Amino acid sequence: MHARNYWGKTLTTIILTIGGILVALPFIWMILSSFKDEKEVLSIPPTLIPKHPTFHHYIELFQNLNFGTYFTNTLIIVVFSMFGLLLNTMAGYGFGKFHFKAKEFWFIIVLMTMMIPGQVSMIPTYLILNKMALTNTMAGIVLPGLVAAFNIFLIRQFMETIPDDLIEAARLDGAGEFYIFFRLIIPLSKPILAVQIILTFIGAWNSFLWPLIVANDESLYTLSVGLSLLQDENVTNYGLQMAGAAFMVIPILIIFIIFQKYIVEGFNFTGIK
């Protein structure tokens, strides 16, 4: 019985290892190819490890292409997305811990927006931005995705577990509503906020559709839009393409590997079991 179990585990590990290599293959290939020169990257049979490793492509991204600007814009979007998370948190707290008129009605509206697919609201959202004269501005890129109903819902689920007495006691001590939110609620919400911060960061860093639709000037391009432009303009320069992709992907992978345990734990808050 034990022997069978042992072989079962070994077989499982082997299958998972092969699967893992296949899943990781595009990443490995991207990183290795980004250090190959233009000839080597197209050589058949391909080399695995670069023969003459070069940083040339990475330097070119910043010297000849505008990756510095794209990087700055992407960071600006990340900062705004954190403001969006603050709004989500406020709304989650409002729905979770207050009683007010028409609360049910507004919460149902919030839940309903979860069912509206992005592509369905794409055209009218653009028309609204156009009417507000926000096309080709940073505000126009950021606003459509600033708040997310699903995140409000998750945060509210968490807020409901905070005891009312705690908030009540703070009020009796004379604390203002602002003070309670920032000094009591936010520190108590660390577990849910940790996962939200990471996922919001990743989402903002990766955002593609709205920057693409709204930004006309290259000065407003984000990394994803810039990378897509690079691909169109350097069709066969795969070394450069891989370097651009790696610059986009590796920071996120590092952040993810450091903080992944919060994401995994975060799935317990969804209550799907």
Cα 101 from Cα 110, distance rounded (Å): 15
Minimum distance, C-beta of residue 7 to other proteins, in the bound complex (Å)? 12
Cα 171 from Cα 184, distance rounded (Å): 11
Helices and strands, number each (H, E), in the chain: 15, 0
Task: Pick from 35, 61, 242, 262 the residue near other proteins by CB under 8 A.
Answer: 242
**# chain residues binding other proteins, by CB under 8 A:** 95
Minimum distance, C-beta of residue 44 to other proteins, in the bound complex (Å)? 7
Candidate segments 51-59, 61-69, 122-130, 188-196, binder of other proteins by CB under 8 A? 122-130
Question: Rule CB under 8 A: is residue 121 a binding residue for other proteins?
Answer: yes
Under 8 Å between Cβ of 95 and 103: yes
Task: Pick from 61, 65, 77, 91 the residue near other proteins by CB under 8 A.
Answer: 91
Task: Pick from 128, 138, 194, 197 the residue near other proteins by CB under 8 A.
Answer: 128
Under 8 Å between Cβ of 209 and 118: yes
Question: Rule CB under 8 A: is residue 189 a binding residue for other proteins?
Answer: no
Nearest residue to 205 via CA among 76, 62, 87: 76
Question: Rule CB under 8 A: is residue 237 a binding residue for other proteins?
Answer: no
Question: Rule CB under 8 A: is residue 253 a binding residue for other proteins?
Answer: yes
46 Ramachandran zone, left/alpha/beta (phi>0; psi -120 to 50): beta
Cα 234 from Cα 230, distance rounded (Å): 6
Question: Rule CB under 8 A: is residue 213 a binding residue for other proteins?
Answer: yes
Candidate segments 54-62, 65-73, 94-102, 186-194, binder of other proteins by CB under 8 A? 94-102
Question: Rule CB under 8 A: is residue 141 a binding residue for other proteins?
Answer: no
Minimum distance, C-beta of residue 217 to other proteins, in the bound complex (Å)? 17
**Binding to other proteins in span 61-80, by CB under 8 A:** none
Under 8 Å between Cβ of 167 and 184: yes
137 Ramachandran zone, left/alpha/beta (phi>0; psi -120 to 50): beta
Task: Pick from 168, 182, 233, 254 the residue near other proteins by CB under 8 A.
Answer: 168
Asked whether the bond before 45 is cis by omega within 30 degrees of 0, the reply is yes
Task: Pick from 79, 82, 112, 166 the residue near other proteins by CB under 8 A.
Answer: 112
Candidate segments 53-61, 64-72, 189-197, 205-213, binder of other proteins by CB under 8 A? 205-213
How many of the other CB atoms lie within 10 Å of CB of 220?
19
